Amino acid sequence: MGSISTGHHATLLGLGAYRPRRVVTNEEVCEHLEVDAAWVHARSGISTRRRAEAGETVVAMGAAAARDALAAAGIAAADVAVTLVATMSADTGCPQVGTRLAAEIGATNGAAMDVGAACAGFCYALEVAASLVDAGHGAVLVVGVERMSDIVEPTDRSTAFLFGDGAGAVVVGPSAEPGVGPAAWGADGTQAGLIAQSVTWAEAHATGERPALRMQGPTVFRWATSRMVPLVFEALEKAGCKPEQLDAFVPHQANARITDGLVKALALPDHVTVARDVAVTGNTSAASVPLAMHDVLTTGGARPGDLALLCGFGAGLTFAAQVVSLPPV
């Protein structure tokens, strides 16, 4: 087991997850697409994904994951100093999800806000949380939650089969030793059109067209497999770690082919567990990294205290990576 030699004097105290009850197969998704289940699996590695039903709102799902994370950390909601919610599928722009989620769980003694960095949102929020802990703000709750089924068009072959719904959460708190490495992160707005809302809100009001997520999949694939490789090496260097010291690699669960490309480029040794939750959960955007962490820990692929490399990338374009000590579940 390796350790983080330089980083935030903060650590992940607890982890929680929420997966919607409804499981959607490739066969069901393909009822609206002119492709078959084998085509979907070959291009994504996805067999099933979860879809939220009535009552499984972004607030409800995020709150469920948050309660589990707080229980695992042994922290009362009233003692949370800041609640950060990473999401790109908020049901309202005002008020934000963060304030409503904090109220739902009783975390009303601190601040709350949303972090909008799409599929990199959880890793972005984790860096903000660790910095807040360093600054003396106490326990910070980080939630990644998405209801992607609300913003994806069922007949769009570039997105319909990829995305799922769900939530994951961690509690970040003070630590004598670094438990969260410094983030390697950035953004490239010159590529904003690669993953974007189909129409602006003004255009939607004028025309009645429903805004939906659009993605140039092949271009995003090439960008992710090239841009993320130097980024994850930068995150390892910042934390003073080498690939062979890792116990787990938990990338954003975009699709299996991108994960395979990153694993090959990193030349990870066989003992490193690679998160592959995308196969049964789909791409859950800002929720994918904590959900994948939860899967790795609950299936025995890694243990609390093990060293893991996280990375996220998505619309913006945004990207981030950091090394963490895995939390209790």
Residues with catalytic roles: 119, 252, 283
The number of CA neighbours under 13 Å toward the Cβ of 317 is 19
Q: Can you say how many angstroms the Cα of residue 129 is from the centroid of all Cα atoms in its chain?
A: 15
Write phi, then psi, for 327 (nearest 5 degrees).
-90, 170
Q: How far is it, in rounded angstroms, from Cα 310 to Cα 170?
A: 13
Write phi, then psi, for 280 (nearest 5 degrees).
-120, -10
The two tokens of residue 79 are 């003692």
Q: How far is it, in rounded angstroms, from Cα 251 to Cα 262?
A: 9
E strand or H helix at 49, and its extent?
Answer: strand 48-51
Q: How far is it, in rounded angstroms, from Cα 270 to Cα 311?
A: 19
Q: Report in angstroms the alpha-carbon separations of 108 from 63, 73, 79, 123.
A: 13, 18, 9, 24
| Cβ pair 261, 238 in contact under 8 A | no
